[in-house]
């Protein structure tokens, strides 16, 4: 139960620490990435407390985590500082936060595998 609670608490803490001016939106986007666990429905049994999600479920594999890292980093690396379009900055910020939320999710699942 603590593991599930951390999927809510940790994104909130990150949002408050690093995205203070828009912490509600940041926390909501990062918590929404818990939907990545939909791939658990493909497993038999759906829930196994002794199974490590990392590397087992399709959205918890190294290629998927690599994509999540790209989602997180690309908006930072490719940011067009001259862009004045509010929509473009907002979309980049959303992609960045979704990537961060997915990376946080994978990290928490990884810690759960070790413990």
**Over the stretch 38-89, which tens digit does the pLDDT of each residue have?**
999 999 999 888 899 999 999 999 999 999 999 999 998 987 665 555 667 7
Tell me the chain's radius of gyration from C-alpha atoms: 15
Count of domains forming the chain: 1
User: Using an 8 Å Cβ cutoff, are 83 and 89 in contact?
Assistant: yes
pLDDT greater than 70 at residue 111: yes
What pLDDT shows up at residue 25? 97
Task: Tell me which residue range forms the domain holding 90.
Answer: 2-114
What pLDDT shows up at residue 78? 85
* Residue 114 CB-density burial (10 A; 0-12 exposed, 13-18 middle, 19+ buried): exposed
User: What is the reported pTM?
Assistant: 0.91
């Amino acid at each position: 139960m603590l593991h599930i609670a951390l999927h809510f608490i940790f994104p909130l803490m990150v949002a408050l620490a690093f995205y203070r001016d828009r912490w509600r939106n940041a926390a909501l986007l990062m918590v929404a990435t818990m939907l990545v666990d939909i791939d658990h429905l493909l497993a038999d049994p759906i829930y196994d407390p002794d199974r490590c999600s990392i590397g087992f479920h399709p959205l918890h594999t190294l290629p998927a985590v690599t994509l999540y890292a790209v989602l997180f980093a690309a908006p930072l690396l490719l940011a067009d500082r001259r862009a004045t379009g509010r929509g473009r900055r907002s979309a980049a910020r959303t992609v960045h936060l979704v990537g961060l939320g997915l990376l946080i999710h994978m990290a928490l699942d990884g810690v759960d595998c070790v413990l």
